[in-house]
Structure 1
Amino acid sequence: MKKSLTFCAALLCAPLAAPLQAGVPEALSAHILPGFAGFAQAAETLAGAAQADCTAGSLQDAWMHAFDQWNAVADIHIGPSETGALPVAFWPDSRGFTPKTLQRMISGEEEIGLDPVAYGDVSIAARGLYPLEFMLYDPEFAGYEKGSYSCTLVQTMTRDLARQAAALDAGWEGQFANVLRTAGQEGNATYMGEDEAVRALYTQILTGLEFTADTRLGRPLGTFERPRPTRAEAWRSGRSLRNVLLDSKGAYDMAAALADWELPKSKEALDRLFELAERVEDPSFQTVDDPSERLHVEILQQQVRALSDALELEIGLRLGIQPGFNSGDGD
């Protein structure tokens, strides 16, 4: 093994911070704004590394770090992230547009792949973290050399990602954070009351956990008769399990910042999720066709839902939102 959680002690399994003071300002200052700032810095570091050495092996660590930073805020889809998150993380790609688009650009050495500014007009299938995973990890794409079209394309893609990350960071820090902070005040037409802003963030927490259970875990599980391992998120880089854990931790961290009371059941559920993850032998979920490994992943899926249930009980009820509320409705 168990390479699945070699990153655990250093990155994910540190003691969770106690919940901070309640409310939207605390969620912004403790989680959301640092999250987007951290991603912007990591994306800029990745772009700088690509300029120095564009080859796949030299960029994998920087790409991994950028993805780690993204995970903290990946499931937030309001404000600048409502449209800005998709070009950063276009997944799932059910029709395989990403490899098709990359193959076309490389085979034709399309000029737009050499221009970081114009690259913003490229299909989202070839922008962001996931096409970079193909370029850095997929044998069909990753064997390029310095000076090749693919080398310059990677430099262009990383610079485009850094621009996107900076735009998200600026959009949150410079504008939308204040929209949330001033909920209910005169002139705020987005949130007519502070409770609406709280509910908006709470919705992001539950929706993110729902996406993790149903899509990040549900897609590779498929059915017992027909598992779909290559539908796992980021399986080429072996970080499918890592994403499940980081995104779940991000949901908990935002919830803890939003609350001014302890969340013992939620913390226990998150801790248990990390414990159960130790049983998963393949962090890319590529062996879910094996019954015992499938069971471990199914149990992980159940635990993500248990975390969501705990947050509904410990936060939702206190906010007057009944368990079972549809997180997709936004009300």
Structure 2
Amino acid sequence: MILRATLCLLCLASPLRAGVPEALTGHILPGYAGFAEAAGDLAEAARQDCTAPALRARYQLAFDAWTVVGDIRMGPSETGALAVVFWPDARGFTPRTLQGFIADQAPVGRDPAAYAEASIAARGLFALEQMLYGAEFAGYAPGSYACALVQTMTADMAAQAQALQDGWRDGFAPVLLSAGGPGNASFLSETEAMAALYTQVMSSLEVTADTRLGRPLGSFDRPRPTRAEAWRAGRSLRNVLLYARAARDLAVMLAPGPLPQTDAALARLEELAGRVSDPGLQDLDDPAARLRLEIVQQQVRTLRDTIGAELGAPLGLSAGFNSADGD
């Protein structure tokens, strides 16, 4: 109730067009709250039973929750998101770091408070994916160091999720809502705030097309399926769809009216994704499977272009730089 009242007062005090407060209250803030809750549930489940089979369902729910806001890289998330999703890991830092912790029985692996200072390669969803699904990690026994490490990792991620929620709710949301107001050096006008959120939408779809799909596709002669996001957990295609839906949902919150062409483009993307046979994208040496995924990639780009034409162009918005663009 306090948060809702605060936001309402800020909205009344701010000259912002409706899209920014709606994006915050209808998508961004609930998204971070949802991830904090799911990460907390995963950490609690790990305290009860830290074995990999017992945690996989909760892990999948936490990853689902993350995708709602996972491609938003501004404010507290510009750097904070890296402790949740260190990916791509082109040099294999994550498995090597985890192997080192386990081999050395590193004390940091039993200390959630100290783990906040550990390498980001050993933190968050992709480090947990290795522990819960990786063939070289997931067979650990109850009471083992690896089991304690997973408890520490889930507690650390829950703390990071809470920090992101708090940072947005208590710090960055009021900055966005007061764009153009006295003393706001981050957003000098209403348009700047709107453009910053629009950039998150467009950059997310670009990352999905170029990185989430482009990396495993590789080239026709050399596909790279093990470069797919979260392939061990079998959710590479699911991530493509969830991030696309999140981008569409944020675009809808920013829009002054319905986005029927955008909705149709997303529906078409979901239809085409339904033809992909392997959710982990590990069958790309099959030319037919590769073609189906290339068509999905094209449709992600179509969705991006459609949002640009239906939302960005009428409002005079263009996408700027996003820190996720360099992933």
Pick the aligned partner of 1:133 from 109, 118, 129.
129
Task: Say whether residues 1:178 and 2:177 are aligned partners.
Answer: no
Cα drift, residue 321 of structure 1: 3.2
2:210 to 214, 232, 244: 214
Which of 287, 311, 324 pairs up with 1:291? 287
Aligned equivalent of 2:189: 193
- Displacement after TM superposition at 1:22 (Å): 3.7
Q: 2:65 aligns with which of 62, 69, 73?
A: 69
Superposed, which structure 2 residues align to 1:98-109 within 5 Å?
98-109=94-105
Aligned to 2:87: 91
Higher helix share: 2
Aligned CA distance change for structure 1 residues 220 and 103 (closer, same or farther; 3 Å)? same
Maintained 8 Å contact 1:39/1:69: yes
Deviation at residue 177 of structure 1 after TM alignment: 0.3
The secondary structure found in structure 2 opposite 1:281 is coil
Do residues 238 (structure 1) and 238 (structure 2) align?
no
- The equivalent position to 1:258 in structure 2, one of 254, 257, 274, is 254
Deviation at residue 262 of structure 1 after TM alignment: 1.2
Match of 1:204 in 2: 200
- Alpha-carbon distance between aligned partners in 1 of 2:68 and 2:269, rounded to the nearest angstrom: 17
SS of the equivalent of 2:315 reads coil
Paired letter, 2:216:
P
* Separation in structure 2 between the aligned mates of residue 242 and residue 328 of structure 1, nearest angstrom: 23
1:327 positional shift: 5.1
Task: Render the CA deviation track for 1:175-212: whole Å, top value 9, x for unaligned.
Answer: 10000000001011100111100000000100010000
Q: Secondary structure at the match of 1:289?
A: coil
Query: 1:242 is aligned with what amino acid?
Result: R
Contact 1:277 1:300 in 2 (8 A): yes
- CA distance, structure 2, for counterparts of residue 214 and residue 176 of structure 1: 29
2:164 maps to 168
Distance 1:321 1:250 in 2: 19
- Counterpart in 2 of 1:18? none
Q: In the alignment, what sits opposite 1:4? A: none
2:140 matched residue in structure 1? 144
Residues in 1 aligned to 2:94 and 2:85: alpha-carbon distance in whole angstroms: 11
Give me the whole-angstrom Cα distance separating, in 2, the residues matched to 1:22 and 1:277.
33
Question: Which residue identity does 2:104 align to in structure 1?
Answer: G
How far apart are the structure 1 equivalents of 2:273 and 2:203? 21
- The SS at the match of 1:83 is helix
Number of residue-to-residue matches in the alignment: 308
Give the equivalent residue in structure 2 for 1:224.
Answer: 220
The one-letter code matched in structure 2 to 1:186 is: P
**Native 8 Å contact 2:275 2:292 kept in 1:** yes
Contact 1:54 1:154 in 2 (8 A): yes
In the alignment, the residues of structure 1 paired with residue 321 and residue 285 of structure 2 have an alpha-carbon distance, to the nearest angstrom, of 31
| Partner residue, 1:123 | 119
Q: Deviations over 1:268-311 (max 9, x none)?
A: 00000000011000000000110000001000000000000000
Please point out which of 20, 40, 49 is paired with 1:44: 40
Note the residue ranges of structure 2 that are not aligned, 5 or more in a row.
Answer: 1-16
Give TM-score, length-normalised by structure 2.
Answer: 0.92
Mapped to 1, the partners of 2:210 and 2:320 lie a distance apart of 14
Secondary structure at the counterpart of residue 298 of structure 2: helix
> Where do 4+ consecutive residues of structure 1 move more than 2 Å?
325-330
The residue aligned with 1:305 is 301
TM-score by length of 1: 0.91
The 2-side partners of 1:46 and 1:327 are apart by 33
Distance 2:51 2:92 in 1: 24
Paired AA for residue 138 in structure 2: A
Asked whether the equivalents of residues 206 and 327 of structure 1 are also in contact (C-alpha less than 8 Å), the reply is: no
Alignment partner for residue 78 of structure 2, among 56, 78, 82?
A: 82
Contact residue 196 and residue 320 of structure 2 kept, 8 A = no
Q: Give unmatched runs, 5+ long, in structure 1.
A: 1-20
Please tell me the residue identity of whatever aligns with 1:219: R
Secondary structure at 2:281 match in 1: coil
Query: Given the alignment of the two structures, is residue 23 of structure 1 paired with residue 19 of structure 2, yes or no?
Result: yes
C-alpha separation between the residues in 1 aligned to 2:212 and 2:197? 21
Whole-angstrom distance in 2 between the partners of 1:282 and 1:179: 43
Q: Supply the RMSD in Å over aligned alpha carbons.
A: 1.3
Deviation of the 1:328 alpha carbon: 4.7
The CA deviation at 1:139 is 1.5
Equivalent position SS for 1:317: helix
Distance 1:329 1:109, change over 3 A: closer
Shift of 1:318: 1.2
1:96-147 deviation digits (Å, cap 9, x = unpaired)? 0000000000011101100000001110000000010010011110000110
- Give SS of 1:213's match: helix
Alpha-carbon distance in structure 2 between the residues aligned to 1:263 and 1:164: 34
